[in-house]
Amino acid sequence: MRPASLAQTGQCSAGWDAGPLWRALTWCGVAQTTETSLRRTPLYERHAAAGAKLVPFAGWEMPVQYSGIREEHVTVRRDAGVFDVSHMGQVETRGPDALPFLQRMLSNDLRRLPEGGAQYSVMTREDGGVLDDLFTYRLSECVFLTVTNAANHERDLAWLRSHAADFDVDVIDAATQFAMLAVQGPRARSLVHALSDGLTPSRMRCCERTVAGAGTLVCATGYTGEDGVELLLDPTAALEVWDALLAAGAAPVGLGARDTLRLEVCFHLYGNDLSEDRGPIEAGLGWCCREQTGFIGSEAVAAVRANGPAEKLVPFVIDGPGIARQGNPVVGGGVVTSGTFSPCLERGIGMAYVSPERAEPGTRIEIDVRGTVRPAVIERKPLYRKGS
């Protein structure tokens, strides 16, 4: 299952060209979808047996909660939780032109992405509208693995392929080759390490390991604001690894807590905070845009950066009772794109697009929550800090 050329250090560069581990595997773990049916991950039976509430999400039947969102949320902040995020898609880009191709397609500077590294970026249209936000892992000099949002995967793939003709590159739909488990929390790393044949990678790095007997790409990334790793593995091994993680003490956590965790630390959710109608500068993602690389949309992004965006995405906390939700208008202009109850702050939090003059931390705004005006205060990112 594992290529022989693996480095055994904490920051290995995985020998992906030497052993096409993922490609050689015949994948058969996930139920095939039809137009009308929801897809299920290899762990569906585990979720159902554990009494999880299962809901449709981006065409998948996914666990939204097990014991309860608040309890699961706090477990990830204090201990360790494991999320089944196998609905997320993967695109493998390989070939001599993989780097220049992705440099054209993604907003960040791929030259700064070392082998065994991870990098966040957005993919934009010519007009700067955001098509997706993505993590890309560089598996070797000429092999990259990019994780897509489930709802965007097919569109991303089509967009990438439609621009690949001028490059010597293969754009491979790898979504069916991987199950994906996110192990997050202060104890996540030690828990995975104890099941693994080597150290976990340092933050924003990835490497290949055997975890609970399964060949796994271990990525030190996440969506919770906690330390932890994301595991990419053969779907047929997902059950075994899931069971081992739970036996080692990780609590199963659903997509409900995934959303509250990410919103407390102001990570974007595509479809809420990001869309084709919004650019990365207004979304506060200018830090992952390197316009000098000439990516598709870079001119539009540069123009917005130079002239200032019409609106800015800012985090807010409700001052008093109430919870703003996605779509609630900001009085006087603007809209809430994500809103929830924060289990750690124990109040309503969210993110909203507002005019730049109202985007400064400390600015007081009012949000129309289904007819009731709720006062709120613009805050700095992140809304939750360790120990707060």
Partner 1 sequence: MPDPSYPDDLLYHPEHDWARVDGDTATFGITWYAQDALGEVVFFDPPKVGAKASKDEAYTEIESVKAVSDVIAPLSGEITAVNDALAENPELVNDDPYGAGWLVQVRLADPSETQSLLSAEAYEAMLE
Residues of this chain that interact with partner 1 (CB under 8 A) are 53, 64-65, 68-70, 256, 259-260, 321-323, 325, 340-341, 343, 348, 370, 372
Please, which residue, 321 or 362, has the CB nearer to partner 1? Answer: 321
Nearer to partner 1, 65 or 184 (CB): 65
Give residue 347's region: left, alpha or beta (phi > 0; psi -120 to 50). beta
Burial 337-370 (b: 16+ CB within 10 A, else e): bbbbbbbbeebbbbbbbbeeebbeeeeebebebe
Between 58 and 69, CB nearer to partner 1? 69
CB of 344 to partner 1, least distance (A): 12
CB 260, min distance to partner 1, A: 6
CB of 71 to partner 1, least distance (A): 8
Q: How far is CA 361 from the centre of its chain?
A: 26
Residue among 239 and 317 whose Cβ is closer to partner 1: 317
The answer to whether 263 touches 349, Cβ cutoff 8 Å, is yes
Q: Which residue has the tokens 């123009």?
A: 303
CB of 259 to partner 1, least distance (A): 7
* Residue 347 beta carbon to partner 1: minimum distance, rounded to whole angstroms: 9
Taking each helix axis from N to C end, the angle separating 69-78 and 255-264, rounded to the nearest 10 degrees, works out to 60
CB nearer partner 1, residue 53 or residue 381: 53
- Name the strands in the sheet holding 179-184, side by side, starting at the edge strand that comes first in the sequence: 206-211, 214-219, 228-233, 179-184, 81-84, 251-252
Q: Which is nearer to partner 1, 68 or 382 (CB)?
A: 68
**DSSP assignment, residue 196?**
B
Q: Report, in this order, helix, strand and coil percent for the chain, each rounded to 5.
A: 25, 30, 45
Task: Give the residue with the Cβ less far from partner 1, 81 or 201.
Answer: 81
Distance in Å, CB of 317 to partner 1, minimum: 14
- Compute the least distance from the CB of residue 256 to partner 1, in Å: 5
The torsion of the CA quartet 245, 19, 96, 27, rounded to 10 degrees, works out to -60
